[in-house]
Structure 1
């Protein structure tokens, strides 16, 4: 199940109902949990990431991905267009995207005043994980998010214009990262915008997946 660049550009459009259904399946639980954390968090209330939590995340994303892909297959969606195509060039471009994201994060940190301790700060401070759970979790999560956000949603919304396609995807991405607080949300917004513009121009999915995985792994160093 593979695709060449021309096939990637020919992926079918998504109807609003289909897109909403896939978004709710793939990201609905994460959006609800993130918004709940953002709205109810109090200092000292956040738990850190754990091996058990990462293992649960992998299982959950694999199950949700299977459901979404099953529904798309039933609609005769060409699933091959959602498969990232690994390449050395893609790794180089992914590394450059990763560097650009960290540069943007640095700019955000300098430009935005401190908002004090946030939920994500406490979660990272209390995190105790091993590489045996972190690496699989970050690989699966990077694939999961970019395949369904960029490969499916952004591409599927292009019939409504590039700005709409990128904007809808950004909105979803920010919603399920809202628990990260104001600075984190701005960083996610800029990262998502960079990813959206890159994908709109190149239509290459693998560099985004690679960049996402590397960014997450570095965050847990």
Structure 2
């Protein structure tokens, strides 16, 4: 991002401060500096349009389409869908999809980088406090992950959640490794962009803490609306909790750990749950065409 020294534009926030002083939540840009505020707003819009914002729009359209075709309970959606009937080529395509998705995360981190400080260190995406980050992440798994399964099960029971079909656990040795990578991709994409990037940018634009936390939580919910409104609502709650935790801790790593573990359980454990409780977790016998 282009920077204009405060000496050139009086009242502008000085972005040349050290990482320790800047922290994960820098001060708002002075309202008189219209150039930087306008440029930052356009940057946020463009980042959203190529990442989570684009996915949220597709998710909303997908839900509206599903709701107008047939009862929600009779429909299904796929997580990590196959890209090829040939296992090896499917693995290659899946890996490339993960790689290019992570490139968007790298773009967000690149835009956060300041000459005086490391962006990864500033948002807490590092290993300085790995032990406490893991413990906090696992606590959030219990707080968010377990109720999240219940929300999905209730949604299926009342016919308001679309059946989510994960990738099958076939005999290829790389399947579980790819599912773990896909879970890591989801954790990094959502937590780095929703929290690390958007919290920084919206605070610079002068948004209140309530506005930042609520708006990013609602965006997170719309991002998951393709699974049905109960899952979207559950993700809004998750966004509120994660946003509060990030504001309090100033570190995104515990949230990446929690999200990744939750998705590993979902991606790998879901086929087992479908076998044990087919009435709730198994997809409908005849998907809507």
- TM-score interval for Structure 1 and Structure 2 normalised by the shorter chain: 0.7 to 0.9
Distance 2:191 2:55 in 1: 15
Q: How many residues align?
A: 216
1:152 is aligned, of 197, 203, 218, to 197
Corresponding residue of 2:165 = 123
Offset, 1:105: 2.6
Structure 1 pair 189/117, CA: closer, same or farther in 2 (3 Å)?
Answer: closer
| 8 Å contact from structure 1 (residues 11, 78) kept in 2 | no
CA deviations 1:60-111 (Å, max 9, x no partner) are 3123334445555699996343460231001000110111003433664688
Matched ranges for 1:160-199 at <5 A: 160-199=207-246
| 8 Å contact from structure 1 (residues 139, 213) kept in 2 | yes
For the pair 1:63 / 2:103, whether they are aligned, the reply is yes
Structure with bigger helix share is 1
| 8 Å contact from structure 2 (residues 155, 161) kept in 1 | no
| 8 Å contact from structure 2 (residues 161, 231) kept in 1 | no
Please provide the CA RMSD for this pair.
3.2
Q: Secondary structure at the match of 2:157?
A: coil
Corresponding residue of 1:85 = 126
Q: Secondary structure at the match of 2:228?
A: helix
Distance 2:196 2:104 in 1: 16
Q: TM-score, normalised by structure 1?
A: 0.80
Distance 2:233 2:257 in 1: 21
Q: Mind listing any 5+ residue stretches in structure 2 that lack a counterpart?
A: 1-17, 29-36, 83-89, 170-174, 270-289
Distance 1:141 1:113 in 2: 23
Higher relative contact order (CA 8 A, sep 6+): 1
Offset, 1:132: 1.9
Q: Secondary structure at the match of 1:49?
A: coil
Corresponding residue of 1:105 = 148
Distance 2:187 2:143 in 1: 17
Which one has the largest radius of gyration? Answer: 2
Q: TM-score, normalised by structure 2?
A: 0.63
For the pair 1:132 / 2:177, whether they are aligned, the reply is yes
Distance 1:113 1:137 in 2: 24
Distance 1:141 1:203 in 2: 20
Structure 1 pair 198/76, CA: closer, same or farther in 2 (3 Å)?
Answer: same
Q: Mind listing any 5+ residue stretches in structure 1 that lack a counterpart?
A: none
CA deviations 1:17-56 (Å, max 9, x no partner) are 3222222222233123312321222535644534547435
